Structure 1
């Protein structure tokens, strides 16, 4: 798998390998968002991944999306593995080296508290997503199952496991009654576009990368990570070189070793060339 001393690079998807116009998306209805075509990297990104392989370097997708929700357009990049679910799931080739899930009792208590507070969330798992929308809003993600109450969520989640959850369009004040519970069990990250991600404490992209490198028998030397949002910040300490996209949040750009062009401007291929990886 790659050259012994080749580089190992980890790539976020949304806002990094793929550009999103968040302002335009916020103005869309749930039905319009469900009808959007699958995300797809630019031809330059596909070419860059091919050149990475040819040079003997390893590539890993490092995303908040769970494995079943990584579209074929991203899999067609032919990475050497995945860090999915914001670090909860890791595979190197066909080998699963990490799989973390929210304990059932905590999942049910989370659903109960958020439903009581009237805050919509999407529970994201290894098989499906369950949108718990006490507000009455329709489901906004393709393939999601819809729950209105905590009891609905308990019934819909009984057969599968879930690693994280997200909220869409929720204001900080909406979380005030839940803050102590959240801080005890979860870490919150701003994913841009009005989306907040809630991950289990100690489970993030950084620890997912560490599990990947341990499986490869590699240290931090010759490792790179590319990202744009707060859930990418944990990658900074896990790799030698952290690259922020030009469209990254200010606090992500501030800690980066290098800031490349935006995703819309093919910032990933530009940075790979800058560091001599392609």
Structure 2
């Protein structure tokens, strides 16, 4: 079998905000790498929000912030940032129309703790704990935020459409399905022209990986681009309907051996 490059989403695919990475997923990806294949993280999280429980997985490299940041063997290869002026404008527009801005960068994430609370998202304090020194307030940093993307949290009564009508000039928009899901009240704003597929295409071009050897695992709508692009697509059992429609194979969820069983189905471990 030829050497495969397998790209894994993070949340809902190989990790959980509270429980971290299941042992079965960690062991399966280790076996994948030991069998001579490549394992890449391909996450919507910004690089600042890749914590220790993901760092322990022996990834060949990481694509983060929906394709905006790429690294291999710990070396930063690419990092697309919005200008500080656009970042500041984005905060002003989102707040004006009733959304809570969470500004995501390769070095820091920026949000105000009195605005982004557990009442807005139950995992807000977990994010703060995970980030540690990589958290920064927006207040006081308005003019010099270094960000790759934004997670805008929709609040009751917000006018998301009005905010997006202004910000579409600068960002591509990713909407998530299901108000009860991990990211159900989130709209992701990614630099125009960037997504997970762009990140994967860049990686395979840089490292001479044949497209037909690309495989993706994912679950949410920010995985749509890579599911439309990759040669082989594996959806997690908890995946959105759109992801399952595009999948070549639907495995179980990560806590029921989904990564292991998907890699076994593909005969990679």
Does TM, normalized by the shorter one, top 0.5? yes
1:236 aligns with 2:227: yes
1:165 aligns with 2:150: yes
Which structure 1 segments of 5+ residues have no match? 21-35
- What is the DSSP-based 3-state SS (H/G/I as helix, E as strand, rest coil) of the residue aligned with 2:77? strand
The residue aligned with 1:81 is: 61
Give, in angstroms, the shift of residue 51 of structure 1.
0.9
The residue aligned with 1:255 is: 246
Aligned-CA RMSD value: 2.3
After superposition, give the CA deviation of every residue in 1:3-61 in whole Å (9 maximum; x if it has no partner): 9x3110000010001246xxxxxxxxxxxxxxx5xx52111111111111121000001
Q: CA, structure 1 residues 177+132, in 2 after alignment: closer, same or farther (shift >3 Å)?
A: farther
The correspondence of residues 180-191 of structure 1 with structure 2, limited to 5 A, is: 180-191=165-176
**Which segment drifts farther, 176-185 or 80-89?**
176-185
- How many angstroms apart in 1 are the aligned matches of 2:70 and 2:229? 15
- How many angstroms apart in 1 are the aligned matches of 2:203 and 2:102? 27
- How many angstroms apart in 2 are the aligned matches of 1:213 and 1:168? 33
Which structure 2 segments of 5+ residues have no match? 119-123
**Which segment drifts farther, 124-133 or 229-238?**
124-133
Q: CA, structure 1 residues 43+52, in 2 after alignment: closer, same or farther (shift >3 Å)?
A: same
The residue aligned with 1:50 is: 30
The residue aligned with 2:21 is: 41
After superposition, give the CA deviation of every residue in 1:109-160 in whole Å (9 maximum; x if it has no partner): 1112112223211001111111157x8454833143334xxxx3xx315455
Q: CA, structure 1 residues 43+119, in 2 after alignment: closer, same or farther (shift >3 Å)?
A: same
The answer on whether the counterparts of 2:49 and 2:109 sit within 8 Å (CA) in structure 1 is no
The answer on whether the counterparts of 1:111 and 1:132 sit within 8 Å (CA) in structure 2 is no
- How many angstroms apart in 2 are the aligned matches of 1:233 and 1:50? 26
TM-score, structure 2 as length reference: 0.85
TM-score, structure 1 as length reference: 0.82
1:9 aligns with 2:6: yes
1:205 aligns with 2:196: yes
- How many residues are treated as equivalent by the alignment? 251
Give, in angstroms, the shift of residue 167 of structure 1.
2.3
The residue aligned with 1:24 is: none
Q: CA, structure 1 residues 229+170, in 2 after alignment: closer, same or farther (shift >3 Å)?
A: farther
- How many angstroms apart in 2 are the aligned matches of 1:106 and 1:137? 21
1:71 aligns with 2:56: no
- How many angstroms apart in 2 are the aligned matches of 1:231 and 1:138? 23
After superposition, give the CA deviation of every residue in 1:42-85 in whole Å (9 maximum; x if it has no partner): 11111111111121000001111122321111111111000011
